[in-house]
Structure 1
Amino acid sequence: MKLSRISSVVAAAAIAPAVLFASPAVAADTATSPASSAPDTASDAKPDTQGNAKADENNRFAILEIIHKSKPDSRVYEAAQAAMNGSPEDRVRFLEEGYELAQFADDRLRTVRILSVGGKGVRREAGEALKKGTHEALRQFLEVGQYKARDEDNRVEIFTILVTAKPGSALYDAVQEALDGSPEDRTRFLEVGQHAARETDDSILVTRIAMTGGPHVKEAARKALWSGKAADVRHFLDVGQHEARKLDEAEAAKDKDKDNGKENAKDGQESKDGQGAKDGKATDGDKQKQKQDGTKDPEESNDTTGVKPAVAISSTGSSDAQLASTGASSATPWVIGGSAVALTAGAGLILTSRRRTSSES
């Protein structure tokens, strides 16, 4: 009997350091944020109050199990370590009431942390649990209430994303699936799905911009897509496309200036040709028009005979000179009228003279 007790104590002493030194690492690997970690469950271990060595050995194993499940910075972990280092009575007291009190303190602290980082629904439920002030209310919130409230907040956040998503986009479709799915689907969408959908939509948008952009825009879009990195695609949409478009616009303006220079040179040549025609050199077009009108070019009017049409010029140098060749002018009626008056006057004088001669005879 004594040998069996000694062997049990030796075995417990042998594994205790391994458990104590290993428990912090396990806790660190499984630790998560207050908003997403699963609630701790109270241990069902009860103290062995027989008061003998076997009972104390059982209590040690129960406390070691609690330490293994607890976080190194928790009140439960610290109280359990103190009980392991204390007397058998300390271990019994810890298992009877100390563990419950330490767990209540940890649950209260954990509820406060969740409240500080939670959404509207989570803050509401956490506040009600803290207001009640009972360990049962805290356990209810940690085990059930926080998850229902978090799904409520997730729905609100997903609806906010839905307002900004364009119908037909990958993000819009992913939002609809999340709303129709389970609470886990909504959590997965907010953590992973929405980012994957946004990357898909960004890649499609870059492709569309490249199809209508200039050479520099196309090249920048190609590099962003072929890099395979979402950050490069996002940088192109935020910055790269605008820089590339400025380069394309600068080159287009430069080409336009060259075209304007050629056009100005062409206009200058035409102006020079027009000035030459004005100085007395008829252009081919003018010569052709003169031939159609039946007139000759001044340069072509000097034929081989050297004969020019005669033009009669009056002594007055008036514009009626051309009428001299036909014997009619604007002064002809006055000349005729004057001659008639003169003839009438002469006839009268002759008749008067004859009457006087006959009377004298």
Structure 2
Amino acid sequence: MKINRVSVAVAAAAIAPAVLLSSPAFAADGHKASAASAPDTASEAQKSDAQKNNAQASAEKENAQKDEASKDSASSSKNASDEDNRFAILKIINKSKPGSSVYEAAQKAMNGSAEDRVRFLKEGYELAQFADDTLRTVQISSIGGKAVRRAALEALRKDTHEALRQFLEVGQYVARDEDNSAEIARILHTAKRGSMLFDAAQEALDGSPEDRTRFLETGQHAARATDDRIHALRILSAGGPHVREAATKALRSGKAEDVRHFLDVGQYEARKLDEAEAAKAKNSKDTKGDENAKDGRESKGGKATTGARQKQDGAMDAKKSNGTTDAKPAVATPSTGSSGAQLAATGASSATPWAIGGAAALTVGAGLVIASRRRTAGDH
């Protein structure tokens, strides 16, 4: 089968040229057509090539324009993006604290290149914020109460930005309210029941976290000032002159610190002055009473002493007059009489009449002796 088909094909190929060339009409038409159409075919080909070239040139030009437009668009887009980055970084600088890590990193990015600004916004800002949050957590822990320190330490140990942000935004306030409640409970325990401070502390404990914060910041001080004024008024009503004066001065000043100073220091200083004056007045009164009593004793003792002395003097004079032989006892008579008269005047003793009588007898005897001697002398 295959051999027969190949033979037929070969035979047909061999016969075909002969048949075609043997036909006069086909040969003439074919020659004419070929001669007539040669110039037209060449012209169409040239036109087609020119059109193709023009189209190619136009396409290349259009592509060049597109490329240029694309470059311009990319450049414009890049410039617009850097301006947005600058604006975003400027906002970060404005809300950051000078000296913080974020502030310094943002300033550095603003002074750098466009790539520096992109890098800061993608990762630098987060790293700087983490450093600032860590430092802030440590600072809060250093001044916070027991609960705040515990919560801060827990956040720092986790060493993640999320843990730090949770503490700074929520955790520290919860822990601070726990510390505030403990502090108010301590104040309540030391306050006097029924005082303004006691009632205000109890009300704060029963209230909200804001109530507790307000009490510790302002409320406790106002309550203490009221209690102090009441205490000062009580002291004033029962104190001495200096205490009343000091209390009045402190209350009239209108300053809580003045009243507090009076209660802590002033009242004791004023009380010492009052006590010193009272002691001085008492001593003066006792001294005056002692002097009056002494004067009375001296007056009474003086009278007794004078009477006894006069009595003794009278007895001694009488004795001298009785034992003396010359004229001297007569000279002493007036003195003796004077003593007797003085004894009679004072009335110091019941023996006074006997003393007077004895003195008179002695005087008469002395006179007789003198007269007898003179008479004897005259006789001789």
Shorter-chain TM band: 0.5 to 0.7
Picking from 210, 214, 225, the partner of 2:236 is: 210
Picking from 118, 128, 131, the partner of 1:102 is: 128
Query: What is the 5 A alignment of 1:70-219?
Result: 70-219=96-245
Shift of 1:212: 0.9
Which is greater in Rg?
Answer: 2
Query: Who is 2:250 aligned against?
Result: 224
2:251 is aligned with what amino acid?
Answer: L
CA root-mean-square deviation: 2.4
Q: Percent identity?
A: 69
Higher RCO structure (Cα 8 Å, ≥6 apart): 1
Q: Whose helix proportion is higher, 1 or 2?
A: 2
The alignment partner of 1:166 has SS state of coil
Q: Could you tell me how far apart the structure 2 residues matched to 1:82 and 1:268 are?
A: 101
Shift of 1:278: 7.5
Shift of 1:262: 3.3
Q: Could you tell me how far apart the structure 1 residues matched to 2:190 and 2:142 are?
A: 27
Gaps of 5+ in 1: 1-48, 282-297, 303-361
Shift of 1:264: 2.1
Q: Could you tell me how far apart the structure 2 residues matched to 1:190 and 1:161 are?
A: 10
Q: Could you tell me how far apart the structure 1 residues matched to 2:113 and 2:250 are?
A: 68
- Say whether 1:236 aligns with 2:254: no
Shift of 1:114: 0.8
Q: Could you tell me how far apart the structure 2 residues matched to 1:240 and 1:153 are?
A: 35
- Say whether 1:267 aligns with 2:274: no
Q: Could you tell me how far apart the structure 2 residues matched to 1:276 and 1:73 are?
A: 100
Q: Could you tell me how far apart the structure 2 residues matched to 1:258 and 1:96 are?
A: 93
2:220 is aligned with what amino acid?
Answer: Q
Q: Could you tell me how far apart the structure 1 residues matched to 2:99 and 2:206 are?
A: 40
1:54-96 superposed Cα distances (whole Å, 9 cap, x missing partner): 1111111111111111111111111111111111111111111
- Say whether 1:253 aligns with 2:253: no
Shift of 1:269: 5.3
Q: Could you tell me how far apart the structure 1 residues matched to 2:76 and 2:144 are?
A: 46
The alignment partner of 1:52 has SS state of helix
Q: Could you tell me how far apart the structure 2 residues matched to 1:255 and 1:120 are?
A: 58
1:83 is aligned with what amino acid?
Answer: A
Shift of 1:231: 2.1
Q: Could you tell me how far apart the structure 1 residues matched to 2:249 and 2:121 are?
A: 65
1:18-48 superposed Cα distances (whole Å, 9 cap, x missing partner): xxxxxxxxxxxxxxxxxxxxxxxxxxxxxxx
Q: Could you tell me how far apart the structure 2 residues matched to 1:164 and 1:50 are?
A: 73
Shift of 1:259: 1.8
The alignment partner of 2:215 has SS state of helix
- Say whether 1:60 aligns with 2:95: no
Shift of 1:180: 1.2
1:139 is aligned with what amino acid?
Answer: R
Structure 1 window deviating more from structure 2 (133-142 vs 233-242): it is: 233-242
The alignment partner of 2:192 has SS state of coil
1:237-290 superposed Cα distances (whole Å, 9 cap, x missing partner): 2221111111111111111122213322443455467658978x9xxxxxxxxx
The alignment partner of 2:133 has SS state of helix
